[in-house]
Structure 1
């Protein structure tokens, strides 16, 4: 049996799946199986995958479900001692599996190894670096505060852990991975490989851009996971809510500018300030308000021109940086 099972859920991924698979097959660590779950694709995804000849590659086709359903289908097929997932448009650096496996083998108390992430666009060009949070050890509170793993394409996980915490919640896309990471953090330590090894592709039509759905499932996750968390962590709940709404403001205002998303961002911002009033004293609040005004008041094409002209003044990346990741004291 292979030591690692890699699972790729894919739905209509003809444009990127070949490159994603290549980034897995080109790993320096070779003892793995690659399980592709074809989630009812209607394009040429299956033809592209079938053209790749490698004995480690296994393809299974199912009727269309969703990302969580496909991940669970992959888990049911996996035979490795360790499990990793990668979305069908993301990429790994060649040393990803080797470095994460080494980290887990050297830290038997850890159940999850994660690396750092860079963001790329649809053409594969660098957009920006990820948060690059440095953390290892007991992680329950920190994972409740924020998903520092950053994507479902990142961690390597002991297969035994899934037997204890169960499968992905199929009602929670596009945030089912954060829910899983919290459940794992409640039982296992996390270990960091301090290197960028995941390239996460941002696409305009990706599931993570559905901000209303993201809000709905995020609030449910926070309620459910704090419902099971110990009393010692309950004081963090308002910070978790504040963090999530900061992230939602950022996602709502990502380009391209759309008036309805700008209006939604106003509501998200109100909640972000409600749970973290300190935000009102930060300079970023004026950048956010400027960006909202441009997106809401101008037609999309003019809004894009205006945003390009005031790029620095309307840059709201700091909003993501202000997401709290450290455990504050209950009195703070």
Structure 2
């Protein structure tokens, strides 16, 4: 009996969907199910899914749902104890399911099993998805110090019971729902990293993260704000009430450099070498410090990988972020 469901959100996923689904159907291990939740299949995605005749695949139409609601729907309706995330434009390498099931058997009480991901296609894109590393205790320590964990969302596998216990995906968030879930799981359950590259993460111009990187950065800071609120015993305000302060905390030069590096990989995937070189130069000019840190993250396997800014910067804006409140507990700031 299958213990793993692959959760596949689908929203106008052509032309990448067939390659993505085929990477799942051709896994070395066949003992799993696929739950495809289609929000908008009007580009041919829905017709393609219905054309498949594989008993492991279940297609459900749920138009208009936000991603966080779609993911919670998967948690509610999956008929297995584990949910493997997969995006409709990414590639599951042949042994992804097999290796994940091995880790489930070894670490069945874990709350989260994140694998590693590289930018796709390999050889045409540069680098790996920036991911936190370490033991479960080391990952928890990052969170207790007020920082966020970094994992590739479509490379993660969730223990459904543990995920529900911490509240599932927070549907009030615009983005960064994954980073918010990671810190809540880290504080209540074990996280066991699968130290193998099992996913090809595709970057392309149609992704929401490319179109709205500044908003994504603000949303990530709001998730860190929620974490710090819990660590310090404070009551968080709605994002709309603190958004102007969060905007001030965004380092724009780093953000632009990050966008340049993303554009570099998109150019590389399109075999536009000259365009890729231009983006690399722009990234260095916009924020040499950010580019250096990103290189060190790739090359130095002893570095601590985390997201967010120094918690002291939040504390310096305490009256704006937590008006009339004082911290009950202290965070270990580093």
Question: Does TM, normalized by the shorter one, top 0.5?
Answer: yes
Equivalent residues in 2 for 1:1-332, closer than 5 Å: 2-120=2-120, 125-131=124-130, 133-138=132-137, 139-143=139-143, 145-149=147-151, 151-209=152-210, 210-229=212-231, 248-254=255-261, 256=263, 307=278, 310=281, 314=285, 317-321=291-295, 325=304, 330=332
Change (3 A) 1:105 1:64: same
Shift of 1:47: 0.8
Aligned residues, how many? 276
1:123-146 superposed Cα distances (whole Å, 9 cap, x missing partner) = 994332233543122223335534
Q: Is the 8 A contact 1:246 1:319 kept in 2?
A: no
1:185-239 superposed Cα distances (whole Å, 9 cap, x missing partner) = 11111112221111111112211121122122112111112222378xxxxxxxx
Change (3 A) 1:253 1:163: same
State the secondary structure of the residue aligned to 1:167.
coil
Q: Is the 8 A contact 2:115 2:193 kept in 1?
A: yes
User: C-alpha distance in 2, partners of 1:5/1:110?
Assistant: 16
Change (3 A) 1:245 1:8: farther
Shift of 1:40: 2.4
Q: Which runs of 5+ in 2 are unaligned?
A: 234-247, 265-273, 298-302, 311-330
State the secondary structure of the residue aligned to 1:161.
helix
State the secondary structure of the residue aligned to 2:33.
strand
Q: Is the 8 A contact 2:83 2:160 kept in 1?
A: yes
TM-score (norm 1): 0.72
User: C-alpha distance in 2, partners of 1:19/1:205?
Assistant: 17
Change (3 A) 1:168 1:133: closer
Q: Is the 8 A contact 2:7 2:35 kept in 1?
A: yes
Change (3 A) 1:111 1:244: farther
Of structures 1 and 2, the one scoring higher in RCO (CA 8 A, sep 6+) is 2
1:127-167 superposed Cα distances (whole Å, 9 cap, x missing partner) = 32233543122223335534332x21111221211220122
Q: Is the 8 A contact 2:148 2:224 kept in 1?
A: no
User: C-alpha distance in 2, partners of 1:176/1:226?
Assistant: 16
Shift of 1:331: 7.4
Q: Which runs of 5+ in 1 are unaligned?
A: 232-240, 258-302
Q: Is the 8 A contact 1:124 1:201 kept in 2?
A: no
Counterpart in the other structure of 2:313: none
Moved more, 136-145 or 312-321: 312-321
State the secondary structure of the residue aligned to 1:187.
coil
TM-score (norm 2): 0.71
User: C-alpha distance in 1, partners of 2:257/2:108?
Assistant: 37
Shift of 1:59: 0.3
Change (3 A) 1:109 1:46: closer
User: C-alpha distance in 2, partners of 1:95/1:193?
Assistant: 12
Change (3 A) 1:96 1:229: farther
